[in-house]
């Protein structure tokens, strides 16, 4: 693939990464790059991006129902109340990624976020959204960065506030997934016009 938008089976132009599986087509068309708000929803995306670190996103996407079941639909208050027995259950759950450091980070993040004011996570994350007018529209995949100044700043802010597994690359993936940036390619049918 050239890295430019490519036609899918239905003839619609899409970002080329979206054409490898039906799961990706649906995720690309219906979710990726669309604005996400709400503390619980953003906690879910932040947690899943952390679990994805070092893995393919398709691995996480296909296990998302298992993650949601295991982590009480990522309700911050519920996950913050998880006990050592819940931690042991998570580490034995084949429906998720059983990485001890990532499980522990998710639990610690929930406990920390449970102490924040309602809307505080949403406000903090969205405060790092760049002005769309200052961002060039990507024409090919080569034009899409893995890290930006804004994702580095978001990562630093989250880490300073005590959150874990929130490096600049993870922060940028979160920004892409949650619509803080629109990295759909110029000719992609899912690009916001």
pLDDT in tens, 141-158: 999 999 999 999 999 999
Residue 27 annotated as catalytic: yes
Whether residue 169 is predicted with pLDDT greater than 50 in this model: the reply is: yes
In the Cβ-directed half-sphere of 85, how many Cα atoms lie within 13 Å?
1
Q: What dihedral angle (degrees, nearest 10) is formed by the CA atoms of 105, 106, 107, 110? A: 120
Catalytic residue among 17, 31, 57, 116: 57
Q: What dihedral angle (degrees, nearest 10) is formed by the CA atoms of 165, 82, 176, 6? A: 110
For the chain, give the percent of residues with pLDDT over 90: 96
Per residue in 52-89, pLDDT (tens digit) is: 999 999 999 999 999 999 999 999 999 999 999 999 99
* 123 Ramachandran zone, left/alpha/beta (phi>0; psi -120 to 50): alpha
**Mean of the per-residue pLDDT values for the chain?**
96
Catalytic residue among 27, 31, 116, 126: 27
Catalytic residue among 24, 32, 44, 49: 49
pLDDT computed for residue 2 by the predictor: 62
CB atoms within 10 A of CB 56: 9
pTM score of the predicted model: 0.95
Residue 57 annotated as catalytic: yes
pLDDT computed for residue 1 by the predictor: 45
Contact 129, 180 (CB under 8 A): yes
């Amino acid at each position: 693939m050239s890295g430019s938008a490519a036609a899918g089976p239905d003839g619609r132009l899409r970002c080329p990464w979206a054409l490898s599986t039906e799961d990706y087509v649906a995720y690309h068309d219906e979710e990726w790059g669309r604005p996400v708000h709400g503390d619980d929803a953003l906690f879910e995306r932040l947690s899943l991006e952390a679990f994805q670190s070092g893995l393919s996103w398709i691995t996480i996407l296909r296990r998302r129902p298992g993650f949601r079941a295991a982590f009480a639909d990522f309700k911050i208050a519920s996950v913050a109340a998880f006990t050592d027995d819940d931690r042991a259950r998570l580490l034995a759950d084949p429906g998720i990624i059983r990485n001890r450091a990532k499980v522990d980070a998710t639990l610690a993040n929930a406990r920390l976020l449970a102490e924040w004011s309602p809307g505080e996570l949403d406000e903090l994350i969205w405060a790092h959204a760049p002005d769309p007018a200052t961002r060039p529209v990507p024409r090919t995949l080569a034009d899409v960065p893995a890290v930006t100044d804004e994702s580095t700043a978001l990562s630093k802010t989250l880490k300073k506030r005590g959150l874990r597994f929130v490096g600049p690359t993870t922060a940028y993936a979160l920004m892409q997934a949650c619509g803080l940036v629109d990295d759909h390619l110029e000719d992609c049918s899912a690009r916001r016009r």
